[in-house]
Every structure is written in C-alpha cells, then in structure tokens.
Chain A
Amino acid sequence: MTQERFIELVKEEQEVLRRFLLALCSGRREEAEDLAQETLVKAWLASEQYVERYRFNTWLCKIAYRTYVDHLRRNSHQSLPLDENLPLPSPDMADGAFRYERLHRAISQLPQKERTAVLLYYLEEQSIKEIATITGSNVLAVKQQLKRGREHLRNLLKDER
C-alpha cells in the first residue's frame, strides 16, 4: 500500500478509531490518544500485509485492540480503582467530558471483553463475525459477551441516573 493510499484511508477512519479508543479507555483522553498514535504507526509499519478486500476499519480495529490489550498488560501493576482512574477534564474540554462522564463511568465498570464487544458493535459498527476476528474469539463467545455487556451497561446507566 502506498503512503498516499494509507493516509487517505486513515483520514476517513481516524476520528471513529479515536472515539472508540476514548470510550475503551473510559474517557482517559491522553491514554486514548497515545494508543491511537501507536495503533496508526503500527498499522503503517504493517501496511504491506493489509489485503484490500478486507475492511480497512476492521484491520485497524484489530491492531487497536491488540495495542490496547498490550497496554493493559504493561500497566496492570499500576492500575487504580476504576473511579479514581477517570480523568479530570481540562477546562476547554470540560463540557464534552461532563456530558459523557456518566457513560464513561458505566463503560469503565464493564468487564474488558464485554466492553470491547459492545464498543466495537455500537461505535465501530462491526459485525459479530468481525468482532470475533478482531478479538480472536469465536462467534458464540462474542454473542454472549455482547448480550451480557448490553445488559450490564443498561443496568449501570440506569443506576447512574
């Protein structure tokens, strides 16, 4: 893949990817931005392996998911309790951050696999089969994670009201 083609494809997908990672990091913006940059750099380095007949977005999500899992492993020893992990918004982004605080808080309480399945399904609009490819699970497991994730998230959002 040429650099121009890669940039063209990234231009279309970067915002959705960053939004997905922001939600996956439960609103921790700096962490999400670092992961997005790492994902895109990894994607560029591996761009020769990309086969055009697959969706670029799915391929990018797969790299993002692996980057996120690696990041969790690297930082597992430093993790804070979930509520303390939520960021304090900077004044210019305060409105947006407070607007989604409830959602971020609810997402942060979902188990990692359920969170990934729900976010890939709703934010990235991936099919169940594609989610299974991205996360390296089977279709039945993804269906289960998605079902549980939805129930959990609904309950959490209800409790937050």
Chain B
Amino acid sequence: MKDDLKETFDSYRPDMGDDKEYMQCLQEKMAALEMVKRYAEEQRRLYRRRMVIAFTVGTVLGIGLTIYILLHPFAVAANPSRLTWFIYNSRFLLSALTVAAVSISIAVLCTLQPLKKAYSSPVR
C-alpha cells in the first residue's frame, strides 16, 4: 500500500542554512567546553593535592604532639593555680596553637587559592 505520509516527509527539505557555518559554530562551542572541562579537572587535582598535604601535616603534627605529651607527663599538671597551670603547660599550649595555626593556614590557602585562580582564569 502506498504511504502518502512517507512521500510528504520525503519531500520535507526545509532550508537549514549553511552546514559549514553550523559546524564551525558547534566546534567553537566544543572548544570552549573543553577549556572549561580542563580547568575544572585541574582544580579538582589541585584540591586533592592540597587535601593530601593537609592530611599529612595534620597527622605528623598530631603524632608528634601525642609523643611529646606521653614523654612529658608532667606537662599537664593535676591541680595547679591558673598562672602555674599556664607556666607548666606552656610548651603543650604552644604546640597546640602551632598545630591549629598550621591547619588554619592550610585551610585558608586551600580556599583562597582556587578563588584567586578562578578570577584570573583565561576562560571567558
């Protein structure tokens, strides 16, 4: 049986414009997408690296501090007055503050560096 709709659709050939121009436009979009993809991948890689560094530094300092406390049990006094407590535990407190400062610095760097890069990125 003759399909009249097939004939109708076979003759459906609306003008779709210049193929070359269309493909060029598409390729430009793909190139832009590739750039964004590469940039996102680079950021992910940097983020992972910074996390590994932060983890390693935290672990090493944590272990160091634990060993230090175990080797100097006198550092944490049992029932001293406030001033003597600070004097007795000054090294312990200093170490704790150093660990906190290093961790905060790493966290700040991890947050600020990608932002700085994002604003100076060549991706437009």
A residues contacting B by CB (< 8 A) are: 3, 7, 10-11, 14-15, 18-19, 22-23, 37, 40-41, 44-45, 93, 96-97, 99-100, 103, 118, 122-123, 150, 153-154, 157
Tell me the number of A-to-B contacts counted with CB atoms below 8 Å. Answer: 56
Please name the 9 residue pairs, one residue from A and one from B, whose CB atoms are nearest each other, closest first: A122-B9, A96-B15, A96-B14, A18-B16, A44-B30, A15-B16, A123-B9, A40-B26, A100-B14
A37-B29, A122-B6 are contacts. A11–B12 as well, Cβ < 8 Å? no
Question: A150–B5 contact, CB under 8 A?
Answer: yes
A151 to B: closest C-beta gap in Å:
10
A85 to B: closest C-beta gap in Å:
17
Interface size class of B (residues with CB under 8 A): 20 to 34
**Which residue of A14, A19, A37, A45 is within 8 Å of B12 (Cβ)?**
A19
* B15 neighbours in A (Cβ, 8 Å): 93, 96
**Which residue of B8, B9, B26 is within 8 Å of A37 (Cβ)?**
B26
A10-B23, A122-B9 are contacts. A44–B16 as well, Cβ < 8 Å? no
Residue of chain A at shortest CB distance from B23: A11
B31 to A: closest C-beta gap in Å:
9
A41 to B: closest C-beta gap in Å:
6
A19 to B: closest C-beta gap in Å:
6
Residue of chain A at shortest CB distance from B14: A96
B32 to A: closest C-beta gap in Å:
10
Question: Is B22 interfacial (CB-CB < 8 Å)?
Answer: yes
